[in-house]
Amino acid sequence: MFEKYLSERIKRTPSSFIREILKVTQKPEIISFAGGLPNPISFPQEELKISMERIANNFGAKIYQYSTTIGLESLREYIVQRYNKNFGMNLSIENVIITTGSQQAQDLIGKVFVNEGDCVMVEKPSYLGLLQAFTMYGANFIQTQLNDDGLDIEELKKTVALKKPKVAYLIPNFQNPTGLTYSEQNRKDVFEIIKDEDMILIQDDPYGELRFSDEKRLPYIGQGSEKNIYLGSFSKIVTPGMRLGYAIASKEIIRELETAKQASDLHSSIFSQYLIADYLENNDLDKHIEKIKKLYKSQAETMVQAMKDYFPTDVKFTIPKGGMFTWVDLGEGKSSLKLFDKAIAKQVAFVPGNPFYVNVEDTTTLRLNYTNADSETIKEGIKRLADAMKEA
Amino acid sequence: MFEKYLSERIKRTPSSFIREILKVTQKPEIISFAGGLPNPISFPQEELKISMERIANNFGAKIYQYSTTIGLESLREYIVQRYNKNFGMNLSIENVIITTGSQQAQDLIGKVFVNEGDCVMVEKPSYLGLLQAFTMYGANFIQTQLNDDGLDIEELKKTVALKKPKVAYLIPNFQNPTGLTYSEQNRKDVFEIIKDEDMILIQDDPYGELRFSDEKRLPYIGQGSEKNIYLGSFSKIVTPGMRLGYAIASKEIIRELETAKQASDLHSSIFSQYLIADYLENNDLDKHIEKIKKLYKSQAETMVQAMKDYFPTDVKFTIPKGGMFTWVDLGEGKSSLKLFDKAIAKQVAFVPGNPFYVNVEDTTTLRLNYTNADSETIKEGIKRLADAMKEA
């Protein structure tokens, strides 16, 4: 009786599969590689406490009052400086809008650019939060295979020629869910194919700072193009609980996102913005990030070694060079959904691959997160998972 | 060249008129009655500082980590207790979702219920943030006249019979922009007309707690109906900068809003939620609200007296019994847009009435806010405005 009131867009958006999984995996006896939580080591708790006191003393009522939709100037200035330095960009604060987490930036971009039926290209597999957000706006998704070195170039050529996507959404560094990174050559090849197309290119980069291999940091695809939107976030390097992300783009695009954001939540918590800005101005973020990377590197290595030690030899997995995830392929004919049930029985959890694909019921793939467990727990969990694989 | 990428929904959403006005009125020499800012007296700054320290000590990493979409249990529990006590409701926490300000609740409701072309009934005039949010989802608005005692019953009957609105959005207490409140009889009459209709009724109540007249607090329209959604906010009674509002509805509606919210921003700042929950648990909110009401009462009285003293006698205005606004009608043939230019020249600002109407270019009405100026400033501003009226 209630359903008759619902909009078409909510009817086609399934309640999140991952949310359902996380309910199962919250039991304390279960070792969970299912979540995507940063390790609490990445929250500079003592420094944030000092910043709280300082902003309360320095800014008084301003940290509690309504504020501008586009976001706090000092925080946008910090972002501009960092991108100009790290990527040789030439941004000014009019190129930056603060969002309520990177998820909101995705929602706003959907609002601003996606008409019902518009073709949107995403990686295969892709981040499910984006799939959810854009499904609301009626996106017609097409997925292009993600390989070890980036997008599948032949498939990309065909997709661009045949489907003419209006928007593309890519995660070039330590992708969620696969952990894969685009090579320098692949970035060039991708840009070569899309540069003359009528296409907005979104590059989501929540994990780019978390590169724990020795290789150098790479520029974005077609860096500097007016049609590019870069998404960033403080969630993985300072705190996700404050819900602060940002979009970087041309002034014209930022203005449209601002109009959309005003209708969505007026502005993001100004307290959070003052707090993070103060933390960034008074601490060495790079030094803090080193600490996170050191931990994640050792956790990733532990998980990779355990997978080598325990998994059946025909099971494949990615070797992460940064970020928070590894991606496992069970091999032809296998089912990650069936494995999930066996694994839960053995008290270990993961995310089956299907929610990262469009219209796929079951897959041979699954996502493992390694950032939120100590090394003994990682080994024990992988052992249990290997046992479940052998049974399945 | 850029426009070709834009969605239909953003093309039909004008960038906010009020935002443009606020830019003009931010000059320090201008007395502005244009904003809708609560007075800083409503921010319990010292108590919030104590709460910050306490939650950092009590909850550690939890105040910085990802959290649930529906919101912090203890905060939802506080809301439930307060509504059950104040309104004799029978809510449980499954009836409450925390949102990033009340504005987000409006956006989520639009997402969940409004299909392109759906008829949405709002007051005439109505809150422009709702008009903006629902315009994005293609709402076809119909406005029903708001009178001194509530909705125009005859007009409502016709609208319901002819247009069969799917959603109605009302602000029964100290409405924005008019400051008007629905009488007890009007609430009953409204419900009588809509109760058997297929209609979701949203009642937005950001100002309900700020009743500074002696009259008793009234129940919602059709309180308890399964199709009702109540919106509330901490913005006007604790702090707007934290962006915390909430929606109260049936469990089924809350579940849909939760799915929509997950795609919109995952969750609202969990730090803000812990902070406000701790403040509410350790302080007497009613006592704090008394302080705000005392100030707003005297500010409202000062403005009303000044309008009586200085305005031309044919100019009408509402006498607020709570909330933050009064509404002025210049009388037939007058233009609030023309007055705006004269007023700015005399260094006083207000919001002309037109953005609160659907498809209206100019009006005889305007909104004045009295909560953010001291009594001398209010008198001087009204005097300037009266001079501008005489010139116009």
**Cα B385 from Cα B352, distance rounded (Å):** 13
Residue A201 or A24, more confident: A201
Domains of chain A in start order, with CATH, are 3-43+287-391 (3.90.1150.10), 62-282 (3.40.640.10)
Residues of B in contact with A119 (CB under 8 A): none
The answer to whether residue B26 neighbours chain A at the CB level (below 8 Å) is no
What gap in Å lies between CA B148 and CA B180, rounded to an integer?
6
Phi and psi for A161 in degrees, rounded to 5?
-65, -45
**Predicted confidence band at A88 (pLDDT cuts at 50, 70, 90)?**
very high
Q: Does B64 touch chain A (CB under 8 A)?
A: yes
Q: What residue ranges in B238-286 does DSSP mark as E strands? A: 245-248
> Which run of H or of E encompasses A31?
strand A31-32
Q: Does residue A150 contact residue A173 with C-beta atoms inside 8 Å?
A: no
What pLDDT, on the 0 to 100 scale, is given for residue A23? 73
What's the pLDDT at B82? 98
Rounded to the nearest 10 degrees, how much is the dihedral formed by the CA atoms of B27, B33, B38, B39? 70
Q: What is the pLDDT of residues A230-288, one digit of tens each?
A: 999 999 999 999 999 999 999 999 999 999 999 999 999 999 999 999 999 999 999 99
Q: What is the pLDDT of residue A361?
A: 85
Nearest CB neighbour to B43, from listed A61, A252, A265:
A61
The contacts of residue A311 (CB under 8 Å, 6+ apart) are A317, A328, A382, A385, A386, A389
Q: Is A269 on the interface with B (CB under 8 A)?
A: yes
Predicted local confidence at residue A364, as pLDDT: 97
Contacts of residue A69, defined as CB under 8 A and 6 or more positions apart, other chains included, come to A97, A258, A261, A262, A266, A267, B19
Q: What is the mean pLDDT of residues A119-140?
A: 96
Q: Span A18-45, mean pLDDT? A: 86
Task: For helices B270-282 and B45-59, give the axis angle rounded to 10 degrees.
Answer: 110
Do B165 and B121 contact (CB within 8 A), yes or no?
yes
Listed residue (B66, B275, B76) closest to A275, CA to CA: B275
**CB-based contacts of A249-255 (< 8 A; 24+ apart in sequence):** A249/A95, A250/A95, A250/A226, A250/B2, A251/A94, A251/A95, A252/B2, A253/A112, A253/A200, A253/A229, A253/B2, A254/A70, A254/A94, A254/A95, A254/A96, A254/A97, A255/B15
* B3 to chain A, closest Cα gap in Å: 9
Ordered strands of the B351-352 beta sheet: B316-317, B325-329, B365-369, B351-352
Q: CB distance A266–B101 less than 8 Å?
A: yes
130-189 in chain B: CB under 8 A from chain A: 132-133, 135-137, 166
Position A13 scores a pLDDT of: 79
- pLDDT for the residue numbered A109: 98
Q: Judge whether A299 and B137 are in contact, CB under 8 Å.
A: no
Are A259 and B67 an interchain contact pair (Cβ–Cβ within 8 Å)?
Answer: no
A65 touches chain B (CB under 8 A): yes
Put residue B164 in one of left, alpha, beta given phi > 0 → left and psi -120 to 50 → alpha.
Answer: left
Alpha-carbon span B241 to A270, nearest angstrom:
5
Interatomic CA distance for residues A240 and B267, integer angstroms: 10
Q: Residues B74-105: pLDDT tens digits?
A: 999 999 999 999 999 999 999 999 999 999 99
How many beta carbons lie within 10 A of that of residue A341, not counting itself? Answer: 11
Whether the per-residue pLDDT at A147 is higher than 70: the answer is yes
Tokens of B37: 């800012």
Tell which residue, A255, A299, A225, has the closest CA to residue A70: A255
The pLDDT value given to residue B335 = 96
Q: Which of B2, B200, B256 sits opposite A10 (nearest CB)?
A: B256
Question: So what's the pLDDT on residue A306?
Answer: 98
Whether the predicted pLDDT of A12 surpasses 90: no
The Cα-based distances of A10 to A250, B129, B137, B198 in angstroms read 31, 22, 12, 19
- Would you call A257 an interface residue with chain B, using a CB distance cutoff of 8 Å? no
Contact assignment for A269 to B7 by CB distance below 8 Å? no
Taking an 8 Å cut-off on Cβ atoms, the answer to whether B272 and A270 are in contact is no
Give residue-wise pLDDT tens across range A44-72. 999 999 999 999 999 999 999 999 999 99
**Nearest residue of B to residue A63, measured between CA atoms:** B241
Nearest to B37 among A40, A65, A113 (CB): A65
Check whether A1 has a pLDDT greater than 70. Answer: no
Q: What is the 8-class DSSP label of residue B78?
A: H
> Would you say A258 and A108 are in contact if contact means Cβ atoms under 8 Å apart?
no
CB contact under 8 A, B265 and A133: no
The H-assigned helical ranges of B164-207 are 184-194
Res A28: pLDDT? 85
Report the pLDDT value the prediction gives residue B40, as an integer from 0 to 100: 95
A157: confidence class by pLDDT, cuts 50, 70, 90: very high
Q: Which two tokens stand for residue A252?
A: 């014209």
Q: Is B147 left (phi over 0), alpha (psi -120 to 50) or beta?
A: beta
Cβ–Cβ gap B269/A267 under 8 Å:
no
Complex confidence, ipTM = 0.96
Q: Could you say which residues from 313 to 342 on chain B have a Cβ atom under 8 Å away from some Cβ of chain A?
A: none
Give the model's confidence band at A15: pLDDT under 50 very low, under 70 low, under 90 confident, else very high: low
- Probe site for chain B from A100, A202, A235, A255 (most B CB atoms < 10 A): A100
pLDDT at residue B1 in the model:
58
**Strands, E assignment, B186-299:** 200-204, 228-233, 245-248
CB A97 within 8 Å of CB A250: no
- What's the pTM? 0.96
Chain A residues touching B324 at Cβ < 8 A: none
Contact B61 A48 (CB under 8 A): no
Average pLDDT over residues A65-84: 97
What band does A332 get if pLDDT is binned at 50, 70 and 90?
very high
Binned at pLDDT 50, 70 and 90, residue A21 comes out as confident
| Residues A256, A257, A258, A261, Cα dihedral to 10° | 130
Q: Give B97-136 pLDDT, tens digit per residue.
A: 999 999 999 999 999 999 999 999 999 999 999 999 999 9
Q: For residue B70, what are the contacts with CB-CB under 8 A and spacing of at least 6?
A: B76, B96, B97, B98, B254, B258, B261
Give the number of other CB atoms < 10 A from CB of residue B261: 29
- Please provide the average confidence, as pLDDT, over all residues in chain A: 95
Residue B7, chain A, CB below 8 Å: the answer is: yes
pLDDT value of residue B80: 98
Q: Which of B50, B54, B68, B100 to mutate to test the interface with A (most CBs of A within 10 A)?
A: B100
**Rounded distance between C-alpha atoms, residue A152 and residue B204, angstroms:** 50
Chain A residue numbers with beta carbons less than 8 Å from the beta carbon of B137 are 7
Residues of chain A in contact with residue B48, where contact means CB-CB under 8 angstroms, are 56, 64
| CA–CA distance, A234 with A273 (Å, rounded to integer) | 11
Residues of chain B with pLDDT below 70 are: 1, 15-16, 19
The pLDDT > 70 percentage for chain A reads 99
Please list every residue in chain B whose beta carbon sits closer than 8 Å to the beta carbon of residue A71.
none
- Give the residue on A whose Cα is nearest the Cα of B250: A2
A198 interface with B at CB cutoff 8 Å: yes
- The number of residues making up chain A comes to 392
Tens of pLDDT, residues B43-61? 999 999 999 999 999 999 9
Cβ contact B201:B194 at 8 Å? yes
- Helix or strand run (H / E) with residue A326: strand A325-329
pLDDT of residue A82: 98
In whole angstroms, give the CA distance from residue B75 to residue B63.
Answer: 13
